[in-house]
Structure 1
Amino acid sequence: MSDIVVKDSNGNVLADGDSVTTVKDLKVKGTSETLKRGTLVKNIRLTGRAGEVECNTKKVKGLVLRTEFLKKA
């Protein structure tokens, strides 16, 4: 798993524990929640897939986000 490189929308390498911000409004499937553009998400976890990270927000726990919609904070 350590050989997978996870990058954000700008090409910056992401690691466990990094903070990221959203680059567009994202609707969360299964809830009425929407993550607004610029929302700060702290302490991300890598999932083993190059295009996804797992995180928690104030209202949604165990959320998986696509890295193409994130930038390193």
Structure 2
Amino acid sequence: MGISNVKDSNGNPLNDGDSVSLIKSLKVKGGNVTLKQGTTIKKIRLTDNDEEVDCKIDGMSIVLKTCFLKKK
């Protein structure tokens, strides 16, 4: 697959299994859940899109944009 170009909001490279935190509170589409700023998300998975990562939060599988994430 080659070298990944996935970066967080500060330009730090992200890899599979990294832990990140949210820099902004986000409403989840299709549900009445709000993810709070500062929430830590563990074991992210990279996707085919360099601007998105896949993760699990409270048992829900969610795709998040990297512009709202900060590497821990």
State whether residues 4 and 48 of structure 1, in contact with CA within 8 Å, keep that contact through their aligned partners in structure 2: no
Pairs within 5 Å for 1:1-73: 1-59=1-59, 61-73=60-72
RMSD between aligned alpha carbons? 1.1
1:40 offset after TM fit, Å?
A: 0.3
State whether residues 22 and 37 of structure 1, in contact with CA within 8 Å, keep that contact through their aligned partners in structure 2: yes
Per-residue Cα deviation, 1:24-64 (whole angstroms, up to 9, x for no partner): 000000111000000000000000111000000015x2200
% identity of equivalent residues: 56
1:3 offset after TM fit, Å?
A: 3.8
- In the superposition, the TM-score normalised over structure 1's length comes to 0.92
Please give the alpha-carbon distance, in whole angstroms, between the structure 1 residues aligned to 2:61 and 2:46.
Answer: 12
Unaligned 5+ runs, structure 1: none
- In the superposition, the TM-score normalised over structure 2's length comes to 0.94
* Count of residues in Structure 1 that have an aligned counterpart in Structure 2: 72
